[in-house]
Chains A and B, each alone.
Chain A
Amino acid sequence: MTIELFKNENPYLPADNILQAAEKGLEVLNRYSKSASLNALKKQLGKYNNISPDRIVLSHGSDLLLREVINIFSNDRNIIRFSPSFFHVSINQSIKLINIKLSPPDFTINSGLLLSQLNEPTLIVIDNPNNPTGKLMLNDNLVEKILQNKNVLLLVDEAYYEFSGKSFVNLIEKYPNLAITRTMDKAFSLAGLRFGYLLMGDYFKEHFKDFPSYLATPSIFAAIEALKNKEYMVQNVKKILFEVKKIEDNLLKIGIQYFSGHANFILVKTEIPDFAIKLKKAGVLVRDLSDEWLNGYYRISVGLPEENEILLSMIKKIKNNT
């Protein structure tokens, strides 16, 4: 059996009540989803994020929202992104794209450098925590400094918010130029639904007035149910964070370098040749980042406790045979 630890998925199945809610959605598959259901979902999300529902846009996956934001707002703006990051910014030729490279071992943003790049109208896209490093890239001070510049739009992806506990949603009312993408793929164990949403300041809100929400009814029902009973998610997040710590402690004992982060995955660096292939042969899939980033870096998603045990024993074996 293969253990999949390469897509940052939640190893825990959704709770029974959530599965039942999704099944209820299946019963009315001949009908389009009802706006009343969409509104009910927005209401739940508003409650969950302590924000007015009219600041929320729903979408099939937060990636689509990101693309939409770039399409709408990049015409006469530079785009700043960070490398590495989860964002794939595919843009037309007329836009200036500035990549800021994050360097090991800290992978932190040089605030002065970033602020010095904001003399022209700019859209900054940033994941916080960052994928694949797991590092928190932003703090309140830097975010407020960025947002005080009216020429700048800031889009923060908080896909791993429930693991990091850090959000800038409290600044949405104050700053029209802030938007945040979220997903229920990760902490809520709903990756198969691909449900994401956008939380927006006033400037974004204006442009998203007519944005249609095409969501499948099973997705809406499951998401509402998950939000109503979020204790299940909270417990799973706790279990995963406990496992993160356990894996990190063991990696330290084995002698494998890792970078502490704030998500459900761990960034690992090792000179062991073919580390990912050796793990693959042992039935454990992890993400080899050498393909598009740096040699020797791997991202390991946290699995079930028993899966993590196998992972660690395989790493130990590989390390001892090297």
Chain B
Amino acid sequence: MTTATAPVSTAPPTPVKKLLRDPQALISGGFLLLVFLAVALAPLITRFDPNHADLSRMLAGIGEEGHLLGADNAGRDIFARLLFGGRNSVLGALLAVGVALLVGTTSGLIAGYFGKWFDNLSNNAASLLQALPGMVILLAARAVVGPSLWIMMAIFGVLLSAGTYRLVRSAVQAVRNELYVDAARVAGLTDWRIIFKHVTRVVRGPVLIQAAFMLMIAIAIQAGIEILGLGDPTMVSWGGMLADAFSRLFVAPILMLWPSVLMALFALSLTLFANSLRDALDGTQRTSPATIRNVFKKVEADKATTGVRESAIEMDADELLRIEELRIGYAMPDGSIKQIVHGINLDVRRGEVLGLIGESGSGKTQTAFAVMNLLSEGGTILGGRVLWQGRDLATLTEREFADVRGKQIAYIPQEPMSNLDPSFTVGQQLVEPMRRHLGLSKAEATAKAIALLDRVGIHNPERVFMAYPHEVSGGMAQRVLIAGAVSCDPDLIIADEPTTALDVTVQAEILDLLRSLQAELGVGVLMVTHNFGIVADICDRVVVMQEGEIVERGETTAMFASHDHPYTRQLFGAILSPDQVRDAYAAPDADDDRIKELTS
């Protein structure tokens, strides 16, 4: 939490500036300010007494006899009642919010800092407060304390404090846990001062947003009590006006109008302002979906005007995949496009393993996703072609693509645990694609899935078939994903760093498995990796990618013998120290032995 909000205060456009540039914030904030000022200065704005009844002016129309908004059924000035009533309503709600903040912050600070029994106690108290509808508690309380608006609102504040409490408590805990390893205490600041300083910074945004929502709820519940006829009859308020008017809905429906409209607008403004505030405080710049659509439209228009090269596709029978001048870009928050792959060319031949190597951010994974048309939201192919067995994949519809994916091009992801659907069993996830692509019956698909699980080295395939993803280990999950990738006999497997997230011992086993499966099935593999050890282990050819461009390519053996580009040298250096590259005999691990073999 601390890190998430920390950049807010340092980011160039401050939250306040962002708010001032947001029309929604300006309009809603302006309206709120207007209401606050109007109710605060009520006696200066209107000369009428809100409680002065004059039966001769009963139901006076708008503007009649000086009544700006007319008079109500007792001849009282509506405008004056709105202003003075707003005074009570807003003050009452502010009281509730004040109590909620005071109680919530204090208890949150204590619970978060000291923990132990107080933490337990207050946690239970908070869930107790939130278990029952506030209205029911308030009505119960009213039986004891009477109709006073202020007391009711103070009690409601206590009910609301549970939310603030949770917010502050978790912030304090986060800060405290960080601070004990921090040097701040050494600097001579006392714990309390550190906590207070950090917590205020972290919490003030969320609390402010919460306060706006609490204000809204407090005004609504207050009006609700008035509508039930349980309010303080001597006091004018928005809810009281509503209740009065509702009882005369048949006689004078117009009386409903002003308090309803005012309350609705006030509630709406509070929400909109709180939402703007949240956006302004949110340090992360995300590209809105609308921006993405606009950017995509622009890209499509560009493609249309420049004219797609309709050159004939000539691929020989051995060539599986050819990428030509591929450019990939992502939509940015300001509506521009950031190009991350700058026109690369590569091809994968049948039965061949091509290594695509580069560090994170080099565009290698994005290239892999682009082939399958699975780029993350906001990503798109800006130009170039992805040719697959004589077809341009860019021309396929999503429906047609679904027949290529899994059946012809399969995918092995990097992070095994997050790539299995947690709500379905391993078996269900294996069976579904096989039934679709291979047209197998449920029993046939089940048998094949269990055979596959056995083939990828899972000892108890029936049990794993029935297991949910959270019940298997990371290494096992990766085997399951490999089984899934080969299940429909694809021609090409795109493996995105398939061993990076695994333990070192498991890594070697998975690589062995991939190598043996590749040999057995004769399938082409595009191996995305940042590790030259893996390239040495499994790849026939290798392509080196840096910052969205291919900087070097060649046969793996040749590449290990000599590589020119400084970046390639750097990648070699990342797995081996420069001395060890030359001093192969002293190398301790398996990868080095392999290199020795290749380079000798």
Task: Tell me if chain B binds chain A.
Answer: no
A residues with a Cβ closer than 8 A to B are none
